[in-house]
Amino acid sequence: MIIAPLIISTLVVGIAKMGDAKTLGRVFSKTLFLFICAAFISILLGLVVVNLLRPGDGINFVAATASAVDGIAPVPFSAKVFISHAIPTSIVDAMARNEILQIVVFSIFMGISLSAIGEKAQPIVSVLDSLAHLMLKLTGYVMLFAPLTVFAAISAMISERGLSVLISAGIFMGEFYLTLGLLWLILIGCSILLIGRCTLRLIKGISEPALLAFTTSSSEAAFPGTLEKLEEFGVSNKIASFVLPIGYSFNLVGSMAYCSFAVIFIAQACNIHLSMGEQITMLLILMLTSKGMAGVPRASLVVIAATLSQFNIPEAGLILLMGVDPFLDMGRSATNVMSNAVGAALVGRWEGEHYGEGCRGVAKMGTETVVIQETVTIQESFTLEAQAK
């Protein structure tokens, strides 16, 4: 009801506000570079931690039948599958099925087209801008009921599955949440290095949307709040509106870390050894397949199932994840929100935006350049030449 119209309106307006194709291409390339780096770090971290802690040792799982994982069919990755999934049959169909990747693709083409039209497109851009504000206001009303919704969702989950699920799988859950904690520290540390201490202010600001994502197991539910907090932090509307929707398709780092962690866990539980070369191959495969599954129901499990089949690991091992996956999804969703917010802030700073006290670099006001505390710019951090006019 909310997410699809909000993504379309914010992304289209964000692209239209870029002004020209050169600016759009520059921002997109920076966004893609950061997302690829984040994906590599998250998948690699999952592999490292699961190999060090080895939570699957001693389980000795025997795959009796494949029926244990009915409904989670592996989807082999190929360029044809990715492209056919990314291009919507119609935007109405994509919105009805909440296909985020297809909605993003449609919005990018629409935004580029409006930008090319120029002045004649302003009435449409104004309408979409008003729609974005309308959806944010509507979200505010919906969020008034969030505490009741969260309480009901958690109560229902525990009543259906029982606390015994948490106890029996406590080691696996604890070690995966340790992985997410390390991922948070790495991404926040990189942001502090590149942006400055103002990153802590950003993390504090998005704590509310991240908590909502955690309790509802949905990073999409936190999209409006994250967008609002980014603009309060100082990220321009055009950057936040462009980077954030793309991040929901290409920067799900919590889910990526889970995929690599879970695949090796199942291999360990089945007493299957994967060589270093095979694990490096798995990393590269996950870098690709995780991008093509945005918006797919139970997306992480689908990606895991596809990866298991690539390495001759019994797909029935997914049953080991079924009982705890809803609880792990909570942490993944919150991590996705944090990573997308940090990514938007990094792109904004790379584009020359300044976030006030604690931000590295310079703040430009008119024709004057005012040095704020620290003098290392994000361009220097990315080994680019810093230029001050």
The string of pLDDT tens digits covering residues 133-175 is 787 677 667 666 656 765 665 566 567 655 654 555 678 888 9
Rounded Cα distance, 203 and 74, in Å: 36
pLDDT band at 102 (very low <50, low <70, confident <90, very high): confident
Tokens of 287: 């870098």
**pLDDT value at position 67?**
42
pLDDT for res 2: 67
Report d(CA 171, CA 85) in Å as an integer: 36
Query: Is 255 among the domain residues?
Result: yes
3-state secondary structure of 68: helix
At 363, give phi and psi (nearest 5°).
-110, 125
Tens digit of each residue's pLDDT (9 = 90 or more) over 327-365: 888 898 899 999 999 999 999 998 888 888 777 765 554
Above 70 in pLDDT, residue 378? no
Which pLDDT score is estimated for 200? 92
Angle between helices 223-233 and 237-250 (to 10 degrees): 140
Q: What is the mean pLDDT of residues 284-308?
A: 68
Give the confidence band of 388 by pLDDT, cuts at 50, 70, 90: very low
User: Residue 329: which of 301, 361, 366, 304 has the closest Cα?
Assistant: 301
Residue 86, pLDDT above cutoff 90 = no
Q: Is residue 305 part of a domain?
A: yes
Residue 86, in any domain of the structure: yes
Query: Higher model confidence: residue 347 or residue 305?
Result: 347
Residue 271 inside a domain? The answer is: yes
Residue 349 has φ and ψ, to the nearest 5°, of -65, -40
Q: Give how many domains the chain has, as a whole number.
A: 1
* pLDDT band for position 19 (cuts 50, 70, 90): low
The predicted structure's pLDDT at residue 80? 65
Q: What pLDDT shows up at residue 314?
A: 84
**What is the pTM assigned to this prediction?**
0.71
Q: Does 358 or 109 have the greater pLDDT score?
A: 109
Where is 286: in which H helix or E strand?
Answer: helix 276-289
User: 121: which DSSP letter?
Assistant: G
Banded pLDDT at 317 (limits 50, 70, 90): confident
Task: Give the residue numbers spanning the domain of 331.
Answer: 3-353
Residues 6+ apart with CB under 8 A from 10: 132, 227, 240, 241, 244, 245
242-253 pLDDT, tens per residue? 888 888 777 888
User: Is residue 104 assigned to a domain?
Assistant: yes
Mean pLDDT of the chain: 76
385 vs 274 pLDDT, higher one: 274
CATH number of domain containing 108: 1.10.3860.10
Domain membership of residue 376 (yes or no) is no
Tell which wins on pLDDT, 3 or 248.
248
One-letter amino acid identity for 20?
D
Please check whether residue 359 lies inside any domain of the structure: no
Given pLDDT bands bounded at 50, 70 and 90, which one contains residue 381?
very low
Map tokens 């990018």 to a residue: 108
Q: Are 257 and 183 in contact (CB under 8 A)?
A: yes
Asked if residue 369 is part of any domain, the answer here is: no
The residues pairing with 363 across neighbouring beta strands, listed in sequence order, are: 370
Residue 336 buriedness (CB in 10 A; 0-12 / 13-18 / 19+):
buried
